[in-house]
């Protein structure tokens, strides 16, 4: 089935060097930051009421595509291209994983390519603008998530 309302797209490119739980965390933060920076109105969030479930969800009219990258340098190149093309984007770097927001901010301020890695790049834009920038990436597959053993994450209370 081909989705028809695809004049714009949200694309998430994830680094498969990381475990699925880390990627999911990065994706959530990346999307939150992207919508916060670009304004939620861009996504044309439509109501999807479901009385039987007792909810009314908001879902973008436009598709969300998840692609994969096998290494951070590919994502670093993508970020440079997005900046040059003036495409709305947000990036999650491994320095953003930590015990506190202030610690994460300090680590990110000091983060450098080669020592730190990009976990996820999120972007939103017109199909014709973003297609050339993402054509080198393939779709994220279930098998990508199985490459890494999920290590336990401890959350201090």
pLDDT higher than 90, residue 6 = no
How far apart CA 122 and CA 10 sit, in angstroms, is 7
- Alpha-carbon span 5 to 12, nearest angstrom: 18
Report the distance separating Cα 68 and Cα 140, nearest Å: 5
Q: DSSP code of 73?
A: H
Q: What is the pLDDT of residues 38-53, one digit of tens each?
A: 788 889 999 999 999 9
Asked whether the beta carbons of 144 and 67 are under 8 A apart, the reply is no
35 closest CA partner among 59, 71, 18: 59
C-alpha to C-alpha distances, 138 to 12, 20, 40, 141, nearest whole angstrom: 11, 17, 27, 9
User: Which is more confident, 37 or 122?
Assistant: 122
Q: Which of 67-81, 110-124, 133-147 has the lowest mean pLDDT?
A: 133-147
CATH number for the region 8-145 comes to 3.40.1490.10
Provide the CB-side half-sphere exposure for 111 (13 A, CA). 20
In the chain, what are the domain boundaries?
8-145
Say what the pTM is. 0.89
Per-residue pLDDT for 16 more than 60? yes
Residue 70 pLDDT class (50, 70, 90 cuts): very high
**Exposure string (b/e) for 81-115, b if CB count within 10 Å is 16 or more?**
bbeeeebbbbbbbbbbbeeeeeeeeebbeeeeeee
Strand-strand pairing, 8-15 and 64-69: parallel
């Amino acid at each position: 089935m081909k989705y028809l309302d695809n004049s714009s797209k949200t694309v998430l490119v994830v680094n498969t060097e990381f475990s699925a739980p880390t990627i999911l965390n990065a994706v959530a933060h990346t999307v939150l930051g992207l919508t916060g920076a670009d304004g939620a109105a861009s996504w044309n969030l439509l109501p999807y009421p479901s009385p039987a479930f007792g909810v009314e969800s908001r879902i973008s009219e436009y598709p969300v595509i998840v692609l994969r990258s096998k290494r951070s340098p590919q994502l670093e190149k993508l970020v440079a291209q997005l900046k040059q093309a003036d495409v709305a984007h947000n990036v999650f770097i491994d320095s953003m994983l930590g015990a506190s927001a202030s610690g994460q901010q300090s680590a990110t301020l000091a983060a450098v390519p080669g020592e730190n890695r990009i976990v996820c790049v999120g972007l939103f834009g017109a199909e014709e603008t973003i297609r050339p920038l993402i054509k080198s990436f393939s779709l994220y597959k279930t098998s990508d998530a199985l490459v890494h053993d999920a290590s336990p994450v401890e959350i201090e209370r």
